[in-house]
Amino acid sequence: MDNLQKAQIIAQRLEDFYPETPIPLQFSSIYTLLVAVLLSAQCTDERVNKVTPALFAKADNPYDMIKLSPAEIENIIRPCGLAPKKSKAIWDLSQIIINKHKGIVPNNFADLEELPGVGHKTASVVMSQGFGEAAFPVDTHIHRLAQRWGLSSGKNVEQTEKDLKALFPRDSWNKLHLQIIFFGREYCPARGHDAQKCPICKDLGVQQP
């Protein structure tokens, strides 16, 4: 079975399990999506969703955000972890969005990735979920499953992203990356994984844990 055949099996199984893919993070605008995705680094979506209502009640746009001090932001977002670094990034990127982009979150990778605290994965999520542009954000779940399923031998998420983009149709990327995340959490965890019970691993003949 080659990788393209594997990709077809995986795509069909994921569609069977997750025909609908609600976006895990709660947001009301592209700006609040950007902030929520930044907060989700090394933090669960569930926790982010518990923290952001208090933050966005005070500031759901860059103009109101810079009226808060980084210390005030830090105090609100502390449960998300890395609060000093994230609060400074949120304040700084809000200032840049105002000064350089007239208060509007930019809709391209180059400008997004120039913002403090925004790497390629965060930019990919914003482009796909905010602007509807084809992107394939690769997080630890996707990187791990791509390796387990033999779709990529990439040592980093950048190479894994390239490999997956080559295997799956462009118009499926935005939905597929969420489907893989959902599947990894529910059926194909990093620990305690049984390849014979996992619906996809069993179909692919995966042997390793």
Domains in the chain (CATH in brackets) are 3-20+136-204 (1.10.1670.10), 30-130 (1.10.340.30)
Over 90: is that where the pLDDT of 170 sits? yes
Residue 108's pLDDT band (cuts 50, 70, 90)? very high
Instruction: Give the chain's mean pLDDT.
Output: 96
Mind listing the pLDDT tens digit for each residue in 120-157? 999 999 999 999 999 999 988 899 999 999 999 988 99
Mind listing the pLDDT tens digit for each residue in 28-65? 999 999 999 999 999 999 999 999 999 999 999 999 99
Over 60: is that where the pLDDT of 209 sits? no
Any idea which residues carry the catalytic annotation?
A: 121, 139
Residue 208's pLDDT band (cuts 50, 70, 90)? low
Q: In terms of residues, how long is the chain?
A: 209
Do residues 124 and 135 touch, judged by C-beta distance below 8 A?
yes
Please state which of the ranges 21-25, 45-49, 195-199, 205-209 shows the lowest mean pLDDT.
Answer: 205-209
